[in-house]
Amino acid sequence: MIVRNPQLRDHFLVLDRHESFGEYARAYGDTIAEHYENNGVVVLPCMPIQFDREFIRGLEFPPQWKKIGTGNGIDRPVFVRRAGGLEFDGNHPLVQRFGQSETAIYAQEQIASFNAQLRRGLSQLFPRYFSMQEGNITWRLTETVEEGLHFDVFRGGVPLDPAGKSLHRVKLFINIDDEPRQWRTSHDMPAVLKAGRGVLPDELPDDVNVACDLIDKFGVLKALPAHELAYPTMSAVFANGETLAHEVVYGRRVVGVEFICRAEDMLAPQRLSHRCMGGWLREAGYRVTADAAAVAAKYAHMKGSYALIQAARKAAAPT
């Protein structure tokens, strides 16, 4: 269900339901990547992935595990082979959570199978992204409530290095809970920069990560209108959180996915956010500086609303 706000661009592309990734690819071709690259939201009504959802919905992770995933080794085998034979890997997160148990073994098998199907599916949905590589697949089996509208910020809002600025992000979220996952989305980066004139500093760097951090710190998103989206079990939303303001209003179980590819694999490489940022700033009336580090350092002492919300939740989480 989508409640569209007439004050905003309708950035949703809702696909018809299909029973395989190949059928989605055949029906929509490059339309999926094209809409995504244009700062749009792509909604898949059903992700064709088979797994034991009843078992997974019985698992719960602690709040501090909100974004645990493949980067933490969650889908690697729970056993290691040593001189004496096979034994449980005490460093594996699922062994640490569930002990040396059948639950840990079966959870790893289900997560690994899900992730493998997902990887194959993404290669069909984005067939021209030849260089696509996995960033992280996170299993967020914990409740999230009212994050606050934000752009994604990495490593505390530091400037991106040249290698990072050459990459295009593919992000999606698959609801694996019984209840719809409630989202809000607002303006994309060009529109937010225009809305922030007079609030943000007059001079900004053409660095997406620094800009996202400053937009939060100066509270630009607090008063902006939003669309409302509730996507049901096994549906998914594709959205680039670097360039589209968004928030989770309520959700309990989701698989969050981030892949990257080189800009030259995009349908329109000129749409890469890092290449567009300088133009977006100029169009909104800002002076553009190349010294992103100096700007980030100048406002490093400030805390944005999203950062404060996350810090408060972390402090309140049981250990």
CB proximity list for 136: less than 8 A, separation 6 or greater? 67, 69, 70, 71, 256, 257, 258
Give the domains, in start order, of the chain with CATH numbers: 10-75+113-316 (2.60.120)
How many percent of the chain have pLDDT more than 70? 96
Element (H, E) at 262: strand 254-262
Query: pLDDT tens digits, residue range 236-275?
Result: 999 999 999 999 999 999 999 999 999 999 999 999 999 9
Backbone angles phi, psi at 174, to 5 degrees: -110, 120
Amino acid at 83: A
Q: CB 162: neighbour CB atoms within 10 A? A: 7
Amino acid at 74: I
Is residue 311 over pLDDT 80?
no
Predicted pLDDT of residue 303: 82
Amino acid at 20: S
Mean pLDDT computed over 283-298? 92
CB proximity list for 161: less than 8 A, separation 6 or greater? none
Query: pLDDT tens digits, residue range 7-50?
Result: 999 999 999 999 999 999 999 999 999 999 999 999 999 999 99
Query: pLDDT tens digits, residue range 167-221?
Result: 999 999 999 999 999 999 999 999 999 999 999 999 999 999 999 999 999 999 9
Amino acid at 121: G
